[in-house]
Amino acid sequence: MKKLLNLFKNKKMDLDNDGKIESYHQEIQGVFSQFYDMSAKLSEVIGKLGDVVEDEKAKKAKSDERIAYVLEQENNNKVASDLRIANAERDIESNQKMKEKVREFIA
């Protein structure tokens, strides 16, 4: 059994594609090292993507605030315009009545 283990231990190959011919043990360590590196890189990418999500949420919140502000301003402008229209219509009616009284006075 020990001879069989030694055979595998001493067998040379390149499983981790690093260009080096090493023993099974070293190659397997190389493969696990690559998985560890991949895990670390994925953790880094996940962190960066989390930052992107937070930045975009902040941008969206600011955009929503700007939209709400613009809508409020437009609504205020509409109310003011409605008030000016009502005042102008009231003035027109008042002036029409005055015009009729002036005509009656002249006639």
The interaxial angle of helices 24-106 and 2-10, nearest 10 deg, is 60
* Digit-coded pLDDT (tens) for 11-41: 665 555 666 666 666 767 777 888 899 999 9
DSSP class of 23 = E
Q: What is the pTM (predicted TM-score) of this model?
A: 0.54
Give the C-alpha separation, 40 to 46, whole Å: 10
Could you give the CA distance from residue 46 to residue 28 in angstroms, rounded to a whole number?
A: 27
Helices (H) and strands (E) in the chain, counts: 2, 2
Q: What is the predicted pLDDT for the residue at 6? A: 60
pLDDT digits (tens, 9 = 90+) for 36-85: 999 999 999 999 999 999 999 999 999 999 999 999 999 999 999 999 99
